[in-house]
Amino acid sequence: MRSYVFVIMCLFCVSNIFSQEFIIAEEYVEGSPYQPTESYPYLFEKFTKGTAYHKKDAKGNMVLNVEKFNIFLFDSKLHHINEDDGQKYECIVNDIDSVIIDYTLFIRHTNDIMLEVVVRKKENMLLKRSYVKGVYSVGVERGNTKYRVVDKEFSDKSLNVFYQYYLLIDGTIIEANKKSIEKYIGENKVNSFSKFVKLNKIKWKK
């Protein structure tokens, strides 16, 4: 049974955390020497050794994959550096559940986008998608596999990073907005939920 209590707890966290997150984001843009560019639209300044956690096999074993990873901000997907040619490629993540890069946990969501875990309370989480606009990838083939890579024609122009938030509640990922949460909790709880939002002065755009 879906827990309305969990929804309230997560929303309470969101109302207190969102302002902190944007302060951190502003400090990151203003104080950090690194900022993604058109020619390097990645979340981290360098491809960093990380661990990808795959789904368990038939015997219950979890396969680990350690490589140099990064998040491609064009579509928020996982990229790695290929050891053979040193080039950056989109990872094939059909059997990947999550990945840790530079001590940061990312959860795979629909269409293989990677969501950063911002806050975690047991199995419930506040997640964040980081992305940029106006940057495009191009298709390449290596062997029989198709990849998406950065279009090398772009310049070193700096890019602004945008964020989209999600809630993971009881194993279900939903967007952190009023419409999605009302659908999740059901029509019979919408009125009490609206009162809660008004009482706590939750601003969805923030």
Phi, psi angle pair for 76, to nearest 5°: 60, 35
What integer pLDDT is reported at residue 116 of this predicted model?
Answer: 97
- Of 138, 157, 159, the C-alpha closest to 149 is 138
Interval 193-205 mean pLDDT: 88
pLDDT tens readout for residues 121-138: 888 999 999 999 876 666
149 DSSP β-pair partners:
138
Interval 78-88 mean pLDDT: 84
Contact yes or no for 38/97 (Cβ under 8 A): no
DSSP SS3 for 5: helix
Phi, psi angle pair for 11, to nearest 5°: -65, -35
- Of 98, 157, 158, 117, the C-alpha closest to 13 is 117
For the chain, the C-alpha Rg in angstroms (whole number) is 19
Contact yes or no for 187/179 (Cβ under 8 A): no
- Of 7, 56, 5, 50, the C-alpha closest to 167 is 7
Which of 61-65, 131-135, 164-168 has the weakest average pLDDT?
Answer: 61-65
Angle subtended by helix axes 4-31 and 190-199, to nearest 10: 40
- Of 98, 60, 67, the C-alpha closest to 82 is 67
- Of 86, 89, 103, 88, the C-alpha closest to 50 is 103
At 54, is the pLDDT very low, low, confident or very high (cuts 50, 70, 90)?
A: confident
- Structure tokens given for 99: 């990945």
**For the chain, what's the residue count?**
206
Residue 18 reports pLDDT greater than 50: no
Query: CA 182, CA 193: separation in Å to the nearest integer?
Result: 8
- Structure tokens given for 149: 């890579």
**Would the pTM count as exceeding 0.85?**
no
Calculate ∠ Cα 24-26-31, nearest 5°: 95
Interval 149-169 mean pLDDT: 82
